[in-house]
Structure 1
Amino acid sequence: MTLQRSVHDDTLAGLKALCSDARLSAKAQASCAALAGKLAAPVRIGLLGLPGAGKRAILAALGGLPPDLGTQPLPTLELNHGPTARTDAMLADGSRIETEGLPTPDLLAQDPVFLQITSPAPALSGRSLLLLVTDASASDLRAGLAWAAPRLDLALWCSRDWGDFERDLWQAAPDRMHNHALLVLTGDHPARPQDTEFDGQFQVSPATALGLAPLVAHLDRVIEDASLQDIHAAQMLLHRYGAPAPRIVLAEQTQPAEIIPHPATLPPEAARDLARVFHAVRDAANDLSATLESGCDEDTLFTAFEETFSTLSSRAASADSLQEHLPDLAALFDEAQDLALLLRIEGGTDQLADAAQLLLQVRQDVEQHMAA
C-alpha cells in the first residue's frame, strides 16, 4: 500500500538519523542498526520441493520473469530486485561469470552451480526469491534444506502429490522453516484438507498460472503484516529516544472516479455480502460509541478500534464476491486496518479522535456503496 510504504520509508529514515546520533549508547546504536537493517531488507521467500514440482515456473511467475525462463534447467539461485537485470554465475570450478541481463542459454550450458540474479521487475520490490535445486534423494534434500534455512523468512513447499516421503522430509527440516511455511500443490489432484504442518495450502497450475493470484495475495498480506510489526518496533525505539516518529495524516475524503455498482445491479451473492458488511460497520460504530461513553482508558479504546478494523478487514477478505465486484471497498478495509494500528503506535487523544473519524469515514463509504 502507498500509505504503508510512505510510513515505512519515513520510519527507516528516522532510524538512520537516530543511528548517527553520537549520544546513543553502544547498545542503543546496535538495536537501532538492527531494526534499520530489518526494515531495509527484503522478505526472503524460498521455493522448495522435489524435482519436477513446478518450482521454476512459479519462480518466473512470482518474480515477474519471462515465462520461458521457468522452462529452462536452472541451478539453485537467488533472485533480487535491482535497477537493472544482471546475472552472477558460479561455476563448478569456483570461477565466476558476470553478465548483463537474465541468464542466457549459453550461460546455462556451462552448468553453473549457483546464480545470483537481479531484475527490475516490480513484482520483486521488497522481496527476494530463493530457488533450491536438489536431486530426489532424501540426503540431498535434507542437506539443501539445512543450507537454505538461515537464508529464508518464508518457505513455499511445492509438491505434485504430497505424500509420506515429502511429509517426513518436511517434518525433519530445520525448525525455523516451520515458522512461516505454505504448501503449494502443483499436480492435477484437487487440494486435500489443510495439512497442520503448514500455515496455508494453495493449488497452483505451473503451466497456466491458474490459482497463482490467491497465493500472491496471501504473500502480500503476510509481508505487509510483517512490515507493520517492524514499523511498530522501530517507532517504539524512536519514541524511547525522543526521535520524531512519522505523523500519520488521514487523507481527505474524495469522491470515487468510477461509478459504484448499486446493490441491485450486483450479483446476488455480492449484494448479500455488501449488506452484511454494512450491518457489521453499523454495529461496530454503535459498539464503539458505547465504549467511548463508558470512560475507558486510552489503551482499551485503541484496542477496541484496532479489533474492529481487523474484523472488518477479515470479513471483506473472506468475501470473494466483494474482492471481485467491489475491490476498492475491500482495499478500503485493509488500509483502515493499517491506519488503526499506526494510530495506536502514536497514541494520544488526537490519535483517538483520528481513529473515530476513520471509522466514520469507513461507514460513510459503505453507505455510499449501498445508496449509489
Structure 2
Amino acid sequence: MTADPALPDTATLLRQLLASGRLPKGAGPRGEKILAQLLAPVRVSVFGTPNSGKSSLINLMADEVLLPDGLALPPLQIAYGDQPKTFATLADGSEHHEDGFDPFRLSELEPAFAEVALPIPALRHIRLLEVVADESLRDQRAAVKWAAPRSDIALWCTIGFEPHEQELWGMVPDTLKDNSFLVVTMADQLAADGILKTHVGNVTAIAGDEFQGVFPVALKQALATSGPSGTPDGDTRASSGGPTLVSNIMRYVDRGRQARDDAALMFLSRFDALPQPVDEAESARQPGQDSAADRQAQARPVRAEPARHVEICETAYDYLRRRAVGLSEALPELGAAPHSSVLGYCVDTIEHLTDLVLDPDSGDQDFEQLADHVSEASEMMLLLQLENQAGPAADAVTLLLQLKRDFEERIVA
C-alpha cells in the first residue's frame, strides 16, 4: 500500500487523525505508537567481541571516519542532528553534555554510555549503536541482552565466528536474526594469506543459516582515502566489499521504513482518514450531470444477495469461534512469553479466513466490503507479526474478535 505523492505525507495525515478526536477508545495509543515508529530512524546495531572491527564498521556506515582505531569508548549511539552534540552518562550516574564531538575527550571521561548527534547525511534514516563489552563472556552476554531489544538490524563483526560468539548470537531473538548480517572483517589480511575464499566458506557453513548474508569486508581498504581532501578512493573502496555490504544493509533499512509507512497507511485506512485523489474528469462535470460512477450504478442490474454469501459468513463465523476456543485451550501450554505463538496462530487463522471469503464476482457491495476488511486485517496481521511482542499479539487477537463480530452481525442482519 503506497500513498499518492500529491497528497499529504503519511506522518502528517496520522497526526491530523490523532488530533481529530475521531478515534475510538483504545485506538489512540496504537496510533501514537505507529506515529513514533514512523518518525524514528531504523536502529542498526554493531555487535561483536573486542577488536573485531566494530568501530571501523561504524565509520563505514556513517561514510566518515568518526572513531579512531584502538580508542577505548563506551557503548556509543550515533544519530542525526543539526549540530554536533555529545551526551554522556558517567559511571556515577551523572549526565555530561557538551557541544561538538571529540572521541578522545569522550574516552577520557570514561562514561558508561554515550549518545552523539552529528549532521551527517548518511545518518538521516538510521541510528548506529556500537555494542561494547570487555573480554569477559559475562559482560558480553549482558551487552547482547541489553542491545538486542534496542535494535532493528544487527551486524555481527567477526573473524572466525568462534564457539563463544555462536553462544552469544544464540541469545539474539529470531526476529532480529531475520534482519542481520555477519561481517567477516580483516578480509584483506585473509586474502594476503591466500585463505579468504576457504575461510569465508567455513564461516558460511557454520553460520550461514543464522544470518541474511555473510560479507567479507576489508575495512581498512573500505575506508581508504586519497589526496589532502580525504575523499574516498572509489576503486580501492569498491574492491573492499564495503559498498556491497552497505547496499544490502540499506535495502533492509528501506524495507523497514516501508513497512512502517504501510502500517500507518493501513491504520489511516481503517478509520477512513486517507484523502482520495481528485478525479479531474469528475471535477469538471457540470452540476446536475451524472458521473461515470452514477451511470455505472444505474446500468448495473439489481441482484439479490446470493445465498452462498450467508453460508460463507456462517462458515467463517463458526471457524473463528472454533479457533478462539482452540487458542484459549492452548494458552496455558505456551509458557511465560506466548506472544510469538499467538501471533503465528492468528496469522494462520486470517490466511484461511481470506481464502474462505474470496469471491471475485460477488456483485454484493456489502459482502465485498466485509471481504476487504478481512484483506486489510490480513495485511495488518503480517505487520504485527514483524513486531513479535506482547502488545501486537493482543492487537492480532482483537482484530480476529472484531471480524468475528462482523460476521455475526452479517448473519443476523
TM class by shorter chain equals 0.5 to 0.7
Q: 1:171 aligns to what?
A: 170
Structure 2 unaligned residues grouped into runs of 5+: 191-195, 223-239, 280-359, 362-367, 369-413
Equivalent positions of 1:111-260 (< 5 A) are: 111-188=110-187, 189=190, 190=196, 191-192=200-201, 193=204, 195-209=208-222, 210-245=240-275
- Is 1:33 matched up with 2:63? no
**What is the one-letter code of the residue matched to 1:201?**
V
TM-score (structure 1 length as normaliser): 0.61
User: Runs of 4 or more off by more than 6 Å in structure 1?
Assistant: 3-9
SS at match of 1:39: helix
Q: 1:64 aligns to what?
A: 63
Question: Take 1:82 and 1:40, find their aligned partners in 2: how far apart are those partners?
Answer: 14
Provide Cα deviations, 1:188-220, integer angstroms capped at 9, x if missing partner: 342223611111111112212121111111111
SS at match of 2:154: strand
Q: 2:89 aligns to what?
A: 90
- Is 1:110 matched up with 2:109? yes
Provide Cα deviations, 1:120-155, integer angstroms capped at 9, x if missing partner: 100001110111111122211111111111111111
Question: Take 1:237 and 1:110, find their aligned partners in 2: how far apart are those partners?
Answer: 45
TM-score (structure 2 length as normaliser): 0.56
Q: 1:46 aligns to what?
A: 45
Provide Cα deviations, 1:290-325, integer angstroms capped at 9, x if missing partner: xxxxxx87x9xxxxxxxxxxxxxxxxxxxxxxxxxx
Equivalent positions of 1:265-344 (< 5 A) are: none
8 Å Cα contact 1:145-1:174 kept in structure 2: no
8 Å Cα contact 2:3-2:10 kept in structure 1: no
Q: 1:10 aligns to what?
A: 9
Greater Rg by CA = 2
* Counterparts in 2 of 1:68 and 1:131: CA distance versus 1, 3 Å: closer
* Counterparts in 2 of 1:228 and 1:68: CA distance versus 1, 3 Å: closer
- Alignment length, in residue pairs? 251
Provide Cα deviations, 1:143-198, integer angstroms capped at 9, x if missing partner: 11111111111111100222222112212334443232110110334222361111
Superposed displacement of residue 244, structure 1: 2.4
* Counterparts in 2 of 1:28 and 1:147: CA distance versus 1, 3 Å: same
8 Å Cα contact 1:11-1:246 kept in structure 2: no
* Counterparts in 2 of 1:137 and 1:104: CA distance versus 1, 3 Å: closer
Superposed displacement of residue 77, structure 1: 0.9
**What is the one-letter code of the residue matched to 2:16?**
A
* Counterparts in 2 of 1:92 and 1:163: CA distance versus 1, 3 Å: same
* Counterparts in 2 of 1:118 and 1:23: CA distance versus 1, 3 Å: same
Question: Take 1:158 and 1:5, find their aligned partners in 2: how far apart are those partners?
Answer: 40
Superposed displacement of residue 9, structure 1: 7.4
Question: Take 2:100 and 2:184, find their aligned partners in 1: how far apart are those partners?
Answer: 31
RMSD, matched Cα: 2.9
* Counterparts in 2 of 1:15 and 1:144: CA distance versus 1, 3 Å: same
Structure 1 unaligned residues grouped into runs of 5+: 250-295, 300-372
Superposed displacement of residue 115, structure 1: 0.9
**What is the one-letter code of the residue matched to 1:120?**
P
8 Å Cα contact 2:144-2:168 kept in structure 1: no
Percent of aligned positions with the same letter in both sequences? 31
Question: Take 2:103 and 2:22, find their aligned partners in 1: how far apart are those partners?
Answer: 52
